[in-house]
Amino acid sequence: MATVVRLGLTGGIGSGKSTVAQMLADLGAAVIDADAIVRSATQPGGPAIDPIAREFGRDFITAQGALDRDRMRELAFADAGAKRRLEAIVHPLVGQEIQRQADSAIHAGSPCIVFDIPLLVESGHWRQQLDRVLVLDCSVETQLKRVMARSSLSHDAVAQIIAAQAPRLLRLAAADLVITNDGLSLEQLHIQIQRAAARFGL
C-alpha cells in the first residue's frame, strides 16, 4: 500500500480553508472537515445533544433539537470553564469520527488525507500525527471583511472569535508551508495549491 500523506490544513477564521480544502479534494485528496463533524454531532439527534443538555440544560438546545450555537458561543466566550466542559463533550466525539474517516480514506487508497482542523495549533494534539501542516495566512482586516460578508455576525463578534483563536505567529511557527491568501484571486490561489500539491502526494 502506498504511503499516505497526512496533511493538516489550518488558518484563522476567514482565511480560505474551505476553498483550499475543495481545491485539494479536486486534486484527489480525501478531506476530513472537523467543523462539519461538529455540526453533525450537534444537529438534532446528534451524539453530542443529550450530553450537552445534561451538562448545560435544555435552554441550550433549540426547539428543533439542535445546539443553540449563538447562546453557547456567548457562554463559552464569557466562561472559560463552560468552554472546557463543552470541549470535553464534543472533542472526543469529533476525534472518533475523524479517525473513522481517516481509516476509510486509507482503505480507499487516497494518496493524501487533508485534516481541515481550525484548532489544529491550539489543541496541541494533532501536530505529531501529521506529516505536513499547511497554514493559510491573511490579515485580520481580511478576516473581518470575509466573515462579515458571509455571515450575520457583527464586527465585534467576529473580532472576538479571531481573538480566541491561536495567535497568527503561533500558527505560522507550526507550518511546513504557508500560503498568504490576502488579495489573491481564486485563480491565483489555485495556482499556488497546484504548485504545492506534489509535496502532498497529489
DSSP 169: H
Provide the pLDDT confidence category of residue 2 given band limits of 50, 70 and 90.
low
**Assigned CATH topology for domain 1-29+112-201:** Rossmann fold (3.40.50)
Query: What are the phi and psi torsion angles at 66 (to 5°)?
Result: -100, 165
Q: How far apart are CA 96 and CA 98, in angstroms?
A: 6
- Domain boundary assignment for the chain: 1-29+112-201, 35-109
Residue 129 has pLDDT above 90, yes or no: no
- Whether 1 shows a pLDDT value over 70: the answer reads no
Contact 166, 122 (CB under 8 A): yes
Q: What is the mean pLDDT of residues 71-89?
A: 93
pLDDT in tens, 107-116: 999 999 999 9
Question: Is pLDDT above 70 for 93?
Answer: yes
The CA distance from 85 to 18, in Å, is 27
Residue 113 three-state SS: strand
What is the band of 101 on the pLDDT scale with cuts at 50, 70, 90?
very high
Between these two residues, 105 and 12, which has the higher pLDDT value?
105
* Euclidean distance between CA atoms 172 and 56, whole angstroms: 35
Q: CB atoms < 10 A from the CB of 54, how many?
A: 10
In the β-sheet with 132-137, what is the strand arrangement from edge to edge?
Answer: 30-33, 112-116, 5-11, 132-137, 177-180
pLDDT tens figures, 22-62: 999 999 999 999 999 999 999 999 999 999 999 999 999 99
